[in-house]
Structure 1
Amino acid sequence: MTHNGPVDAGQFRWIAVLAAGPHAVLGGLSAAQAGGLRGFRARPVDLLLPASSRRDVLPPGVRVHRTTLLPPQDVLTVGQPPRTRPARSVVDAAQWAAGDDEARAIVAAAFQQRLVTGGEVHEVLARLPRLRRRALVTAIVTDAAGGSHSLGELDFLDLTRRAGLPAPTRQQVRYDPAGRRRYLDAYFAQWRVHVEIDGGQHLDPAHAWADMRRQNSLWIEGDRVLRFPA
């Protein structure tokens, strides 16, 4: 079946995989987006190919990466089109990122959106000893698995370490007056101080009002809240 309308992102991913041959799979950020990762703009489609495979000329907007390490446990064949599993996708996306901040943001977002777990990603890291940015990715995964789910929260954790402060509890669970479960970014229990790192969505009036209600509830209970913009 064909059509003469615009090609959407999902269709172009299929075109890229089919054009690259039977051994090609989506990789990196393209595979992560196909698996549900949100918050990153479309870009050239990343394909992962065995180092020994041959390929024809690919359409513009496709980027090929080759690897000698692509075990069956890293490939999801039931998804359409074939792609690397979420943990491998996130690791590859981080090593292929344009810069360290982008790598940190991708890993943090994958944990925030509950696409991966720390155990899954560490298993992939163990299979890729020559990974680019290995030390950085390992540190990000450890922090993200511990509850730092945004670039701002990762930056805050770095600042606390540099200042010699004790590690806060991250994603502290509490229940609001209506009984709903809420997660707070960081909590220093010994001082009863909560720290919230506000991204751009907190400027939305409805979101800001919800933040104020939660903050007021914490102050009434005797805790203190410090807020910082991401």
Structure 2
Amino acid sequence: MPDAQALAPLRRRRRRALVDALSQEQAGIVSLRRLYDEGITRGEVRANVRAARWRRCGTHAVALLTGPLSDEAKHWVALIEGGPRAMLDGESSLLVGGLQRYRVRLIRVTVPRGARIRHRGSSVDIRQTRRWQATDLDPESPIPRTRTPIAAVRAFLWASTARQATLVLTMVVQQELATVEEIAEAALRIRRDPRRDLLHAVILELAGGVRSLGELDVVRLCRARHLPPPTSQTVVRTTDGRYYLDLRWAEFGLVVEVDGIQHTWAEQVVPDSLRHNEIALGDQTVLRIPLLGLRLAPDAFFEQIEAGLRAGGWTPDVAA
């Protein structure tokens, strides 16, 4: 029977193969408990950390690699620190689900109410929530995260400002990550929250066809100025096919296009201009409002909208 000294190299090779396999599973991030369960000793962990082959990430996570952590690795660290029932949630879940052009400062993780939170880091927000349900888990995601409609609603409720909340919900619908109906169903679970009424109002606006934050602003500001409400996302046909108009007052011959940053991209400038001109040649007045202009000079742009409506035959309601 081989002695312990002869078996030592074989054991080291097996442990090395095991560590390599574990490193591939979760972007190189493993919990201490998992290492111990697989037969890696505390002494071996300490030795590898001292030798800079591994490094500790928080209280319970270990990186089995060197160099900067990827976004996926950072997510796994947050989940391990959150505990066995932790899920990526809110904005973090949405980013994993495909949300583009949106930045976050913290990785958000949720655990059930009463769960023991193992560790709180400066870049991780671990939240206990009474709304946590096991069925919230996205079954198709390779990393534990809440389903997109649930995550969108929670991102709305947790946003630092009402405007940020409206932005993230609008982007989810705009980028077709979830439908308005799916988000509305998730919103029915919210019984008490300071933003509950705002959440329902934004969902109703999105259900009416408004697909950008700028369009939402124009509709709201029209109401505040007692201007007639426009129709959102109406379809017209041009020589190039179908085209969606952002906002339209058909009876007054006025169209308003709200230009986000995507309208400044080279590939959009020419087709946008051609559509603008074709609609204008069809006896409709077309006004373009850049989002930056809507932020910096809203009164000046709304004076133009009112002038366009009056030119088309609208008269203000004196009683309003």
Q: TM-score, normalised by structure 2?
A: 0.67
From 165, 171, 174, the counterpart of 1:109: 171
Instruction: Confirm or deny: 8 A CA contact 2:75 2:88 kept in the other structure.
Output: yes
Q: 1:224 aligns with which of 276, 280, 285?
A: 285
Q: Which residue of 1 aligns with 2:247?
A: 186
Question: What amino acid does structure 1 have at the position aligned with 2:100?
Answer: R
Moved over 4 A (4+): none
Give the equivalent residue in structure 2 for 1:25. Answer: 87
Asked whether 1:208 is paired with 2:287, we answer no
Q: 1:195 aligns with which of 253, 256, 261?
A: 256
Residue type matched to 1:126 in 2?
L
Specify which structure has the higher proportion of helix.
Answer: 2
Specify whether residues 131 and 75 from structure 1 end up closer, same or farther in structure 2 by C-alpha distance, changes over 3 A only.
Answer: farther
Contact 2:255 2:287 in 1 (8 A): yes
Q: Secondary structure at the match of 2:217?
A: helix
Counterpart secondary structure, 1:84: coil
Which amino acid in 1 is paired with 2:176? R
2:312 corresponding residue in structure 1: none
8 Å CA contact 1:87, 1:124 repeated in 2: yes
1:165 is aligned to 2:165? no
Rg larger in 1 or in 2? 2
CA distance in structure 2 between the aligned counterparts of 1:22 and 1:205, rounded to whole angstroms: 47
User: How many angstroms apart in 2 are the aligned matches of 1:168 and 1:28?
Assistant: 32
Given that residues 117 and 126 in structure 2 are in contact (C-alpha distance below 8 angstroms), is that contact kept between their aligned partners in structure 1?
Answer: no
The one of 183, 195, 200 aligned to 1:133: 195
Give deviations 1:103-142, integer Å, cap 9, x for gaps.
1111111111111222222222211111341111211121
Question: Could you say what the CA RMSD is over the residues aligned between the two structures, in angstroms?
Answer: 1.8
Distance 1:132 1:9 in 2: 32
2:208 matches 1:146? yes
| SS of aligned partner of 1:148 | coil
Whole-angstrom distance in 2 between the partners of 1:76 and 1:164: 44
Tell me the SS of whatever aligns to 1:3.
coil
2:133 maps to 1:78:
no
The correspondence of residues 61-76 of structure 1 with structure 2, limited to 5 A, is: 61-76=123-138
What TM-score does the superposition give when structure 1 sets the normalisation length?
A: 0.92
Q: Percent identity?
A: 34
**2:252 match: secondary structure:** coil
Give SS of 2:111's match: strand
Query: What is the letter of the counterpart of residue 225 of structure 1?
Result: V
Any gaps of 5 or more consecutive residues in structure 1? Answer: none
Q: Which sits farther off after the overlay, 64-73 or 190-199? A: 64-73
Aligned 8 A contact 1:107 1:144 in 2: no
Specify the code of the residue in structure 1 equivalent to 2:215.
Answer: E
What is the number of equivalent residue pairs in this alignment?
229
Give distance in 1, aligned partners of 2:266 and 2:180: 34
Runs of at least 5 residues in structure 2 that lack an aligned partner in the other structure:
1-22, 24-63, 292-320
Return the offset for 1:72: 4.2
Q: Is the 8 A contact 1:45 1:62 kept in 2?
A: yes
Decide whether aligned partners of structure 1 residues 208 and 46 sit closer, same or farther in structure 2, where only a CA change above 3 A counts: same
